[in-house]
């Protein structure tokens, strides 16, 4: 499967699991050209086709000039790829499961084994800290670089009043992390109605933060069957 085809599959899987909706976007670093990444033109994830995927430079400019509309928040992807050479795939989304943690002081904590894939720390960024009142879109490199500073070495970052960014060492790991972060957040929200939350310990997080290739591939095959059925 080509990287472009896998990117299309990632869009559909994340859409199926309500990580993406009409908004949000996924990218992957170019497998042969480390200074470039692949992402679609600005379309709803459900509408993205192979011909809609184009190459971008790490300054968020398209390699080949185009008149097509581009995601205004593509700078999120370019800034992260510049700062984190180990990152090979990125998703920015606004999943309802995670938004409560973007608008309250309640910390998002891993509470299940698969939720451990969120990493040992989920970072948080507030645009007001550096930029005051904005339209909440990350529409330039300066804003994206500020987000990257807060991201540090984490695999996930919550964006106050807006959404989430999730990173992966490859597309399949990214999708695994994005899907199970949402599922884990839903479990945490439900469990809070029953009593005190018992989150994973630091030691458990360390041991679960990197999902196995076997687990990722099992889920990927399962998710491909789900999107075929739809």
Which one is catalytic: 51, 55, 73, 186?
Answer: 73
Q: How far apart are CA 228 and CA 208, in angstroms?
A: 30
Q: For residue 128, what are its two tokens?
A: 């007001």
Q: Report whether 63 contacts 36 (CB < 8 A).
A: yes
Q: Is 204 a catalytic residue?
A: no
Closest CA to 210 of 176, 186, 166, 185: 176
Q: For residue 169, what are its two tokens?
A: 């060492």
Which string of DSSP letters, residue by residue, matches 61-124?
-BSS---S---TTHHHHHHHHHH-TT--EEEEE--TTTHHHHSSSPPP---STGGGGG-S--EE
User: Taking the mean position of all CA atoms in its chain, how far away is CA 31?
Assistant: 19
Q: How far apart are CA 180 and CA 37, in angstroms?
A: 25
Hey, which residues are catalytic here? 73
């Amino acid at each position: 499967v080509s990287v472009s085809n896998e990117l299309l599959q990632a869009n559909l899987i994340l859409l199926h699991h309500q990580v993406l909706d009409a908004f949000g976007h996924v990218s992957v670093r170019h497998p042969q050209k480390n200074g470039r990444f692949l992402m679609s033109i600005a379309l709803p994830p459900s509408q993205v086709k192979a011909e809609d995927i184009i190459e971008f430079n790490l300054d968020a400019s398209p390699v080949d000039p185009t008149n097509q509309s581009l995601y205004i928040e593509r700078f999120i992807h370019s800034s992260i790829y510049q700062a984190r050479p180990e990152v090979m795939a990125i998703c920015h989304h606004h999943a309802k499961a995670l938004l409560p943690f973007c608008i309250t002081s309640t910390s998002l904590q891993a509470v299940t084994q698969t939720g451990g894939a969120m990493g040992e720390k989920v970072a948080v960024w507030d645009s007001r800290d550096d930029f005051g009142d904005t339209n909440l879109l990350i529409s330039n490199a300066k804003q994206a670089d500020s987000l990257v500073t807060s991201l540090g070495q984490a695999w996930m970052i919550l964006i106050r009043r807006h959404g989430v960014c999730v990173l992966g060492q490859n597309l399949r790991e990214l999708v695994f992390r994005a899907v199970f972060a949402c599922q884990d957040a839903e479990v945490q929200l439900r469990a809070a109605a029953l009593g005190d939350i018992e989150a994973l310990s630091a030691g458990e997080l360390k041991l679960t933060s990197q999902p196995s290739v076997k687990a990722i591939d099992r889920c990927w095959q399962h998710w491909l069957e789900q999107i075929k059925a739809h």
